[in-house]
Structure 1
């Protein structure tokens, strides 16, 4: 082995040891990093609502407005007015409108001059005889856009379109809450009517039970008759409890929408629910959808997309502006004039334009054109859906009206048969099962008739909402809802 080879061997050994040490350090660092990542991952996967609420400093919700307690039966229109006067989703939409209106002011600021002031300091290469240091320099500048080929106009138009979209969103939210309140009133009234029918059924079957007991005690009939009648009484009472439970659930739903203190009775549904819509159920064409909130919102989105397209096209052209600035050294050398406490001012006419952005300008134009076309299709979709819903509700109304007449005739005939069976049972020529079955048939016919009647009202309420007549029908036009004035 040569002398040079002998010298290189220890060096190679030292290098190998150094590489091993670096590898161990890298492995330890990666292990520590993995441990830290695992620790962070474990923390992010812990959910503690109490800790989260404490970190967010969540405050108790403020109480919602509550209508004065009343013992008068609850009217449909009054229920709708109370619901829209207190629902927080409408307040949310109104606050969002104020946010969007602020965006219009931000966009319009582009028409006005931009004024900037500042103070800075640094060093200068001025000769030492002149002071050397610049000290503090105060600067003021003014920039006024003169012409930009419609950039600011487009931004203002886009912001105004977003305001219009949010206004349509408020209308939609009001209509949604009104629809929820009207549906709750109709359904609560349904179970209120079914409760009265169920109570009548219990009383009727109890009368049959009383008659059966009298006949059994007198030995005219067997003891089986009272047992069969008791079974029907228990069934009628169970049905009564079920209807009471459903009525209580819908009264709680009304309490959520209207607040505590819902009147104990729901007033009869207004005759205007049918009379006022007599001229709207036509088969000669689709309903007018031009005033629907969804259509208005989609049109506002189309205008916003159109404004964005104008902005994208205007970005291809330059912007002309006038800029004026002045700076003054405060106790030092002005770097522009190299004078102590010197002042320097400029007035410039600038023409700025983007020459190349890697195709971004063309891509923005294509994207804005596609957004406008998509918004136009959303308008047609909103019209199509509204027309489909309106026709569906109209057919439901027509079908329910046709069924009501048949059900009324059925109920009358069953009542006549029940009266006849009652006389025949008293005379002993008819079994108690015939009489009990007749009472059950009367209940079913009355309940079905009431259900179809309320289906008819529910379909009319749905038609009112689908055709955009809710605010006019429930008397919300020319009123103020949560600070927002509603006009036709």
Structure 2
């Protein structure tokens, strides 16, 4: 089956122009409609489409007309040789009959490059969507990390107040207070760094999607990911749009060589022409002889151009075309290597991130129990303040690792879909209007032969973000229950009254 129904990935209701992208589907749709990278790539593809009628025009008849009027200011005595004025007009028709295959191969090369451009447009979509997914997940990850660091700062502030209170009554030393102060200062610095990263992620989101992120929902699971890396590579080699585009560019260069070779072959054209002249009564003026003042002529012929020597230009063009074909062949190999590496590395990152998620979930739960136990043991005097601070840090580290692994797994999974050619608009089932079809414009222009017309002055399609407010590090939703740490952190330090084993 050519396409897996990835639209299940993004199930949900969507509006055509959401005010803020709260779901992954809305973010992808907004980027698809208004991101300048994709809208610019569509315009570029429309320009590539025009190469077909341009190439075909060299094999179609051409008609040229000329006209003129002249006044002879100085004339000799013989007005038959020097009439005072003259008006003339002519028309010529040239019908190409044989161009050595240059026209046919130029058209084929242009058509092949249109196919390459359409595949390249698919790749642009996949790359854009991969970036959107990464930006979406970055905001979720960094917002969670900010929330965790804020939680950590609040806990350490409570710890510091408790340490100072116990120091006042002599239960703790100045060293314990200093340790609490140092750890709080570090936590505040980490919070500042986390907030800066969150702002950067949100600004990158605005750059790609065009609107600020709202309260982002967790994205749905990725369906139908391969379980064997060889299957992923096989599908990537068969369906990756970048590889298809490179292969079609390579195919087009074969026709370029034929076009270059045609430069040393004969060219035959059929010609037809007609002319009309009128001396406007000035021919034979001043004589008694009456002569005709107008004249017409018509011609019909065959034109043959047989190149004999062109200074080595045709051979140079052939060698140049052959070298470019060699380059295109190597480009296919380079792209193939990149696709294989992308599929294998994405598969590896996805699988390893899944393992990291499982380990991190266990670590978070274990660190919660550890922190609870350390605090309980501290209350009976068997643990120090430093033990509590280290347990707090261990819990925070495991929570951050879990959040990061979730992000890495999802992005790697989507990147794997992109490598396999299954992360484009038609795969994702985006709604909110018809999807862009590059063949519509191509079919519209490919057979046009009129010298007049155009599509009008282009208007901007992508939306500007100049009026978008600067992003902040405000946390918009509560932490995941697994990330939240419902540990009793208000337990009195070094006093045994609240110890569980004394209840």
Q: Where do residues 447-466 of structure 1 align in structure 2 (5 Å cutoff)?
A: 447-466=400-419
Quick check: 1:267 aligned with 2:221? Answer: no
Q: Where do residues 144-159 of structure 1 align in structure 2 (5 Å cutoff)?
A: 144-159=95-110
What SS does the aligned partner of 1:470 have?
coil
Q: Where do residues 314-393 of structure 1 align in structure 2 (5 Å cutoff)?
A: 314-331=262-279, 340-393=293-346
What SS does the aligned partner of 2:92 have?
strand
Q: Contact 2:205–2:212 (CA<8 Å) still a contact in 1?
A: no
The separation in 2 between residues aligned to 1:270 and 1:248, in whole angstroms, is 24
Aligned to 1:410: 363
The separation in 1 between residues aligned to 2:197 and 2:60, in whole angstroms, is 63
Q: How far did 1:284 drift?
A: 8.2
The separation in 1 between residues aligned to 2:315 and 2:266, in whole angstroms, is 15
Q: Contact 1:151–1:311 (CA<8 Å) still a contact in 2?
A: yes
Aligned to 1:113: 61
Q: How far did 1:177 drift?
A: 2.2
Q: Where do residues 64-213 of structure 1 align in structure 2 (5 Å cutoff)?
A: 67-70=17-20, 74-120=22-68, 128=78, 130=80, 132-133=82-83, 135-209=86-160, 211-212=162-163
The separation in 2 between residues aligned to 1:304 and 1:201, in whole angstroms, is 60
Q: How far did 1:323 drift?
A: 0.8
Listed one character per residue, the Cα deviations across residues 61-87 of structure 1 (whole Å, up to 9, x for unaligned) are xxxxx94324xx722232122123212
Moved more, 375-384 or 411-420: 411-420
The separation in 2 between residues aligned to 1:417 and 1:392, in whole angstroms, is 35
Aligned to 1:295: 243
The separation in 2 between residues aligned to 1:229 and 1:341, in whole angstroms, is 111
Q: Which has the higher contact order (CA 8 A, sep 6+)?
A: 2
The counterpart of 1:312, out of the listed 240, 260, 268, is 260
> Judging changes above 3 Å, is the alpha-carbon distance between structure 1 residues 213 and 485 closer, same or farther for their aligned structure 2 residues?
farther
Matched residue count = 413
Listed one character per residue, the Cα deviations across residues 222-265 of structure 1 (whole Å, up to 9, x for unaligned) are 465455334433432332232122112211111222224421x2
> Judging changes above 3 Å, is the alpha-carbon distance between structure 1 residues 322 and 468 closer, same or farther for their aligned structure 2 residues?
same
The separation in 2 between residues aligned to 1:129 and 1:434, in whole angstroms, is 120
Query: What TM-score comes out, normalization by structure 1 length?
Result: 0.75
Q: How far did 1:189 drift?
A: 1.2
Quick check: 1:475 aligned with 2:429? Answer: yes
Query: What TM-score comes out, normalization by structure 2 length?
Result: 0.73
Q: Contact 1:130–1:339 (CA<8 Å) still a contact in 2?
A: no
> Judging changes above 3 Å, is the alpha-carbon distance between structure 1 residues 307 and 402 closer, same or farther for their aligned structure 2 residues?
same
Q: How far did 1:212 drift?
A: 3.9
Q: Contact 1:287–1:390 (CA<8 Å) still a contact in 2?
A: no
Listed one character per residue, the Cα deviations across residues 38-83 of structure 1 (whole Å, up to 9, x for unaligned) are xxxxxxxxxxxxxxxxxxxxxxxxxxxx94324xx72223212212
The separation in 2 between residues aligned to 1:138 and 1:127, in whole angstroms, is 27
Radius of gyration: which is bigger? 1
Show structure 1 runs of 5+ residues with no match. 1-65
Aligned to 2:225: 277
The separation in 1 between residues aligned to 2:406 and 2:151, in whole angstroms, is 19
Q: How far did 1:283 drift?
A: 6.5
Q: How far did 1:382 drift?
A: 1.0
What SS does the aligned partner of 2:236 have?
coil
Quick check: 1:421 aligned with 2:378? Answer: no
Q: How far did 1:305 drift?
A: 1.6
Aligned to 1:60: none
The separation in 1 between residues aligned to 2:298 and 2:232, in whole angstroms, is 75
What SS does the aligned partner of 2:414 have?
helix
Q: Contact 2:137–2:407 (CA<8 Å) still a contact in 1?
A: yes
The separation in 1 between residues aligned to 2:230 and 2:406, in whole angstroms, is 20
The separation in 1 between residues aligned to 2:181 and 2:320, in whole angstroms, is 75
> Judging changes above 3 Å, is the alpha-carbon distance between structure 1 residues 478 and 110 closer, same or farther for their aligned structure 2 residues?
farther
The separation in 2 between residues aligned to 1:284 and 1:341, in whole angstroms, is 80
The separation in 1 between residues aligned to 2:217 and 2:98, in whole angstroms, is 64
> Judging changes above 3 Å, is the alpha-carbon distance between structure 1 residues 94 and 135 closer, same or farther for their aligned structure 2 residues?
same
Q: Contact 1:131–1:340 (CA<8 Å) still a contact in 2?
A: no
Show structure 2 runs of 5+ residues with no match. 1-15, 284-290, 441-503
Q: CA RMSD in A?
A: 3.3
